[in-house]
Amino acid sequence: MFYLTEVEDYVRVEPKLFGLQTIEAVEQQLREIYTDYYDKEFGRVIAVVDVLEIGEGVIIPGDGAAYYNSRFKLLVWKPELQEIVYGIISEITNFGAFIDMGAMRGMIHISQTMDDFVSFSKTNTLMGKVSKRSLKEGDLCIARIVAISHKGDEPKIGLTMRQPGLGKIEWVQEDKIKKEKEEAKIAKAEEKAAKGKGGKK
């Protein structure tokens, strides 16, 4: 889930940025600090959106940098359980697929890729035995977050595509057309049955 978060913190501006206007120096320093920044409570920082306020600079003896108490806005993405995400398959392995969600990568275990018996083929794709559906690198998919582990520097995100409305975009469209046809067939049969009852008076 994307959030706009307001943060107040002392920003350590390095001496190499002293030639810039204070606001430019703080903005540049914030961009350096928050590049690839991830925190369990906070999420992944996507961008420094705005610097709202900068206080007086403080210099600490023995440290050549200046510290500015600043208020700023960050755009962050925090993975949440049951959240639906869009992404591109970035890697296929014999145990599943990795999906690039833009801000982070997630993993779909082979058993969660489709509602079918799935095997890993020599062409580096995951193939459904009955449906003959295949999943390969570059496929655009819709998945749901079912597990988040915070061991290590990066979170491990577990995903599933074994629910209605999830999977490769083409599968979702195929399923929607199939469902609409089935509903139309049922409606037609019910209409026919109603007409039949009406004629037996």
Residue 119: per-residue pLDDT: 92
92 touches 73 (CB < 8 A): no
* 200 pLDDT tier (thresholds 50, 70, 90): low
Q: Which two tokens stand for residue 173?
A: 């469209």
Which of 22-31, 32-41, 68-77 has the weakest average pLDDT? 32-41
Average pLDDT of the residues in 118-135: 91
pLDDT above 70 (res 149) = yes
Exposure pattern of 106-115 as b/e (b: 16+ CB <10 Å)?
bbbbbebbbb
What CA–CA distance (Å, rounded) separates 52 from 4? 13
pLDDT in tens, 59-69: 888 888 999 99
pTM, rounded to two decimals: 0.77
84-177: what CATH class? mainly beta
Q: For residue 57, list its beta bridge partners.
A: 68
Residue 4: per-residue pLDDT: 93
CATH topology of domain 2-77: Dna Ligase; domain 1 (3.30.1490)
Residues of the chain with CATH 2.40.50.140: 84-177
Exposure pattern of 71-84 as b/e (b: 16+ CB <10 Å)?
ebebbbbbbeeebe
Pairing label, strands 118-120, 126-128: antiparallel
Residues of the chain with CATH 3.30.1490.120: 2-77
